């Protein structure tokens, strides 16, 4: 601008005393001076504006750190999502911002739920997760991955159903009765094949004998299972086979010429032919989606940073991709999820994806089929004689049951098929609640459905002779109606079903009611299914106890106590009776000189005093320690003879003539010493000298 000013200086202007770097602008006229001043003012104003713009060029972010949920995969996208964005997009803000990426299993529901809980602001994953995030949380796609595998670059992908050339499988219909393996029911490749087969009138869920889910996103092991003939077919993503062929040394035994792709599709999303082998339509590659709460400046910075990645930059080298492109539409993929039941329309514009780890919730049966109960579905493989490999996350075996236009099923016995007229439909226990489902396809939606149960055992009719009521319509399936019933009495009962008061063709059906199960020991169900004590039981301590146990535990100890009491009473009576005749030695007083009252057959009778009463005490020969007491006995005899002498032969001589004590047949044994006596009140023994017989 200064140079231009110099070139435009008016004629007659002279520059004096100025060197090459220092000149003065001298204007000869007033007009030239005014022009010079005006241009100087414009220059100063322009420089001021430039300084202001320079100071406000960096926007501010509402958050210092933005969190991104990253689905784990075979390739490393971490450098692109976290490192590159923090280095390139972060410095564009004042202060600089950072991006953090959290790797997660793509089949973990938290990857999508994290957008609603504030855990993540953005998610980078394959189409299933991106479409669910868009439907549930109004997340919008920012960019789509431009993948590069085996020299093939594409921003769209499809699913591949691969089999061996010698398997005998040439079309999707040949998968009936075969074993198929896939990453997960929530994976985009499985859902794409699922829809493709449904559009051809087939059922991926029900036609194969078994579907095995690995539970992880690695696809090469699925292909190797097909190569090893352990499964019949595998579901993988596009470019998997081409990439494995390019790196055959890492996969011993693999050769793409041994395999073939079923239902080959060559047209991509844009209508042009596409190079990768695919069995389904194409849908967007991995995409980065962001919540509406993400700042618009952050969105622009993220898009600009990712689209600036070149094929030779380190994020592209680590992730094996060529770059990022503008996003593609998920409308077709979202429509597929709605048709499969993976995505459900809620009230208003809100939608919800089925992303529970329990694959049973994601199972949807085609038209004309009915899903088994969770318990029956869990046991289906075992009932078919198929074993789910231990390293599989889940196996599904024929989870759907075919129905006609009007049929009824017992929920607890669905594997046995529909109920038929006058045939047993279900077996339940007394008071057990049974659920029956009526499928009324192609029927009028305003039909009134009712049911009734008649007890065929007339003698048992009390308060439950007749049951009945209206059916409840299923909210998600208007063709499905159900009712619950519970019967108290055992036996066979008749269930009738009516549509607008008219009995339907399959009605009536039979219901067998068996005895209820009693968990309490020693109890049995009564007539109405209530548990009561069994025969020969008694109620003790809150439980029924067998009578035999009561006899052993109560009556026998009681009998023992009675016997003990009788015995003690007997002893007491005996002791009381004996106490009248058993006299203690210290209670007898003989005085200073024993007085002999008489002489009996077995000894002397002496006088003594017992409790103030004169008694005659007869001496007896002891039965124990005879040798020890013999000397005492003889001494007592001598003392007695000294006090009482008779003209007859002395006691010593009589004893000597009579022999030893064993020779006296009438002597009773005693444990008392020889000087113990048996007393009788008032008299002596027989034959007492000096008087008549004593008074006893």
pLDDT higher for 463 or 547?
547
Q: Give me the sign of the Cα torsion angle 658, 662, 666, 672.
A: positive
What angle (nearest 5°) sits at the alpha carbon of residue 495, between those of residues 490 and 499? 165
CA distance 654 to 668: 19
pLDDT value at residue 456 = 54
For residue range 183-218, list pLDDT tens digits in order.
Answer: 999 889 999 999 999 999 999 999 999 999 998 889
For residue range 303-340, list pLDDT tens digits in order.
Answer: 999 999 999 999 999 888 999 999 999 988 989 988 88
Q: Read off the pLDDT of each residue in 137-163 and give the average, rounded to a whole number.
A: 92
pLDDT higher for 81 or 75?
81
Question: Structure tokens of 583?
Answer: 């006299």
Q: Write the DSSP symbol of residue 273.
A: B
pLDDT higher for 350 or 153?
153
Res. 158 pLDDT band, cuts 50 70 90: very high
Q: Which residues contact residue 685 at a Cβ distance below 8 angstroms, ignoring those fewer than 6 apart?
A: 598, 599, 600, 601, 602, 603, 605, 616, 618, 694
Question: Structure tokens of 488?
Answer: 């108290």
β-strand pairing of 434-440 with 406-410: antiparallel
What does the DSSP assignment read for 646-672?
-SS--HHHHHHHH--GGG-TTPPP-SS
Res. 1 pLDDT band, cuts 50 70 90: very low
pLDDT at 473 > cutoff 50: yes
For residue range 657-672, list pLDDT tens digits in order.
Answer: 344 334 333 333 333 3
Res. 594 pLDDT band, cuts 50 70 90: confident
**Residue 555: strand, helix, or coil:** helix
Extract long-range pairs of 375-383: CB within 8 Å, 24+ residues apart: 376/414, 376/415, 380/415, 381/210, 383/415
For residue range 538-558, list pLDDT tens digits in order.
Answer: 888 788 888 788 777 777 888
Q: What's the full length of the chain, in residues?
A: 696
pLDDT value at residue 15 = 40
pLDDT at 633 > cutoff 80: no
pLDDT value at residue 691 = 41
651 alpha-carbon distance from chain centroid: 105
Average the pLDDT over each of 41-50, 358-367, 521-530 and give the range with the smallest value. 41-50
Q: Read off the pLDDT of each residue in 519-538 and give the average, rounded to a whole number.
A: 86
User: Whole-number mean pLDDT of the chain?
Assistant: 79
Q: Write the DSSP symbol of residue 81.
A: I
pLDDT at 62 > cutoff 90: yes
Question: Structure tokens of 372?
Answer: 């088994």
Q: Read off the pLDDT of each residue in 520-547 and give the average, rounded to a whole number.
A: 85
641 closest CA partner among 650, 649, 632, 633: 650
Count of other CB atoms within 10 angstroms of residue 306: 24
Res. 392 pLDDT band, cuts 50 70 90: very high
Average the pLDDT over each of 74-88, 368-382, 669-683 and give the range with the smallest value. 669-683
Estimate the crossing angle of helix 188-199 against helix 331-340, to 10 degrees. Answer: 70
Q: Read off the pLDDT of each residue in 57-66 and give the average, rounded to a whole number.
A: 92
For residue range 568-579, list pLDDT tens digits in order.
Answer: 998 888 877 776
**Residue 559: strand, helix, or coil:** helix
Q: Write the DSSP symbol of residue 422.
A: T
pLDDT value at residue 466 = 61
pLDDT at 457 > cutoff 70: no
**Contact in structure between 453 and 467 (CB atoms under 8 Å):** yes
Within 187-286, strands assigned E span: 210-213, 233-237, 259-261, 283-284
pLDDT higher for 108 or 94?
94
Q: Which residues contact residue 624 at a Cβ distance below 8 angstroms, ignoring those fewer than 6 apart?
A: 669, 670, 671
List 495's β-bridge partners, or say none: 453, 509
Task: Using CA atoms of 122, 125, 130, 133 in order, give the dihedral in degrees to the nearest 10.
Answer: -50
pLDDT higher for 627 or 106?
106
**Contact in structure between 130 and 287 (CB atoms under 8 Å):** yes
CA distance 278 to 239: 9
Q: Read off the pLDDT of each residue in 342-367 and give the average, rounded to a whole number.
A: 79
pLDDT at 650 > cutoff 70: no
pTM of the full predicted structure?
0.56
Res. 626 pLDDT band, cuts 50 70 90: low
pLDDT at 690 > cutoff 80: no
Question: Structure tokens of 490?
Answer: 């055992």
**Contact in structure between 651 and 637 (CB atoms under 8 Å):** yes
């Amino acid at each position: 601008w200064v140079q231009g000013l110099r070139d435009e200086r008016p004629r007659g202007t002279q520059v004096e005393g100025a060197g090459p770097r220092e000149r003065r602008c001298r204007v000869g006229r007033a007009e030239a001076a005014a022009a010079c001043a005006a241009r100087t003012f414009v220059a100063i104003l322009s420089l001021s504006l430039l300084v202001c713009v320079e100071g406000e060029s960096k926007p501010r972010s509402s958050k210092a750190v933005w969190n991104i949920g990253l689905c784990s995969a075979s390739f490393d996208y971490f450098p692109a999502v976290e490192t590159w964005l923090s280095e390139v997009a972060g410095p564009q803000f004042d202060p600089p911002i950072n991006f953090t990426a959290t790797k997660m299993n793509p089949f973990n529901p938290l990857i999508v739920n994290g957008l609603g809980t504030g855990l993540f602001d953005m998610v980078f994953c394959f189409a299933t997760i991106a479409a669910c995030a868009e439907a549930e949380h109004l997340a919008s796609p920012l960019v789509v991955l431009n993948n590069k595998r085996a020299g093939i670059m594409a921003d769209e992908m499809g699913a591949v159903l691969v089999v061996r050339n010698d398997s005998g499988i040439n079309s999707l219909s040949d998968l009936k009765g075969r074993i198929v393996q896939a990453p997960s029911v929530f994976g985009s490749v499985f859902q794409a094949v699922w829809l493709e087969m449904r559009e051809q009138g087939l059922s991926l869920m029900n036609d194969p004998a078994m579907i095995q889910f690995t539970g992880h996103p690695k696809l090469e092991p699925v292909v190797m299972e097909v190569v090893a003939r352990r499964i019949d077919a595998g579901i993988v993503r596009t470019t998997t086979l081409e990439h494995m062929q390019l790196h055959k040394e890492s996969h011993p035994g693999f050769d793409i010429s041994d395999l073939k792709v079923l239902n080959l599709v060559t047209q991509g999303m844009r209508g042009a032919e596409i190079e990768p082998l695919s069995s389904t339509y194409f849908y967007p590659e991995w995409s980065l989606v962001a919540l509406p709460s993400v700042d618009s400046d952050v969105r622009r910075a993220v898009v600009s940073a990712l689209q600036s990645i070149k094929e030779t930059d380190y994020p592209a080298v680590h992730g094996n991709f060529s770059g990022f492109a503008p996003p593609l539409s998920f409308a077709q993929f979202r429509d597929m999820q709605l048709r499969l039941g993976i995505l459900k329309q809620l009230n208003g514009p809100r939608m919800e994806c089925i992303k529970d780890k329990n694959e049973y919730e994601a199972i949807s049966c085609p038209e004309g089929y009915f899903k088994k109960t969770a318990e029956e579905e869990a046991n289906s493989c075992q009932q078919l004689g198929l074993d789910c490999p231990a390293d599989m996350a889940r196996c599904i075996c024929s989870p759907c049951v075919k129905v006609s236009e009007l049929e009824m099923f017992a929920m607890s016995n669905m594997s046995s098929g529909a109920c038929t007229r006058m045939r047993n439909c279900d077996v339940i226990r007394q008071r057990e609640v049974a659920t029956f489902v009526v499928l009324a396809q192609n029927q009028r939606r305003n039909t009134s459905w009712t049911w009734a149960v008649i007890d065929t055992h007339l003698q048992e009719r009390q308060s439950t002779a007749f049951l009945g009521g209206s059916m409840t319509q299923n909210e998600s399936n208007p063709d499905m109606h159900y009712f619950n019933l519970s019967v108290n009495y055992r036996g066979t009962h008749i269930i009738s079903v009516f549509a607008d008061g008219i009995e339907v063709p399959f009605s009536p059906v039979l219901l067998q009611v068996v005895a209820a199960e009693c968990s309490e020991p020693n109890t049995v169900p009564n007539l109405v299914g209530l548990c009561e004590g069994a025969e020969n039981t008694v109620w003790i301590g809150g439980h029924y106890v067998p009578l035999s146990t009561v006899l052993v535990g109560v009556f026998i100890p009681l009998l023992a106590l009675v016997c003990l009491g009788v015995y003690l009473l007997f002893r007491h009576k005996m002791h009381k009776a004996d106490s009248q005749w058993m006299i203690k030695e210290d209670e007898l007083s003989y005085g200073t000189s024993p007085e002999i009252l008489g002489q009996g057959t077995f000894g002397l009778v002496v006088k003594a005093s017992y409790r103030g009463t004169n008694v005659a005490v007869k001496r007896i020969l002891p039965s124990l320690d005879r040798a020890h007491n013999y000397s005492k006995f003889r001494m007592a005899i001598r003392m007695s003879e000294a006090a009482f002498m008779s003209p007859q032969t002395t006691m010593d001589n009589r004893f000597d003539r009579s022999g030893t004590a064993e020779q006296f047949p009438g002597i009773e044994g005693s444990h008392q010493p020889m000087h113990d006596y048996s007393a009788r009140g008032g008299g002596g023994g027989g034959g007492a000298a000096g008087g008549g017989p004593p008074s006893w």
